Amino acid sequence: MKRRAPASKAADFAVVASEVRSLAQRSATAAKEIKVFIGDSVGKVDSGTKLVEQAGATMRKVVDSVTSVTGIIAEISSATREQTAGIEQVNSLVKDMDRVTRQNTGLVEEASAAAREMQQQAVALANLVGVFELDLHDIGERKSANADRFEPGRLQLPGAEFSGKF
């Protein structure tokens, strides 16, 4: 190996020192850039964390709202079932009322027919009885209160009067 001269060593040292300074400056610049990148990353992570927290809060609100809507729908469903049952009861009662009304109509028609028949029978009976003559003097002067008011077609009973019409 050859030995170099001290001037040559000094020149080599100066080149190396210059390269070291240049490398140190680039390292310092890179460190500054890395520090800026780390700062930006920390800021972005903080911002992302806040967004995640907001998203979580929003999701909780959505879940609470869905739970509330589910409860409301259940209440509506229950009320609908109750209303349906009530309507069915009303419908059944209306059918019963209709049936009773029809029965009553039939009974009224029967009663009306029976009343007409009784009227006709009363007129016929009055006409049949009207052919008989009674001598009230033979009975001892007892007169019926209605005997002098007898009209054919009119039923007369003591204390009651029937004209043949309802």
- The residue ranges of the chain whose pLDDT is under 70 are 1-7, 133-166
- What's residue 165's pLDDT? 47
Give yes or no for a contact between 155 and 164, defined as CB atoms under 8 angstroms apart.
yes
- What's residue 134's pLDDT? 60
pTM of the model: 0.44
Q: State whether the Cα torsion 26-28-30-36 is positive or negative.
A: negative
Amino acid at 19: E
Question: Distance (Å, rounded) from C-alpha 84 to C-alpha 52?
Answer: 47
- In degrees, rounded to 5, the angle at the alpha carbon of residue 88 between the alpha carbons of residues 85 and 92 is 140
Choose among 124, 126, 133: nearest CA to 157. Answer: 126
* Tokens representing residue 115 in the block: 């009343």
Question: Distance (Å, rounded) from C-alpha 43 to C-alpha 36?
Answer: 10
- What's residue 8's pLDDT? 75
- What's residue 133's pLDDT? 65
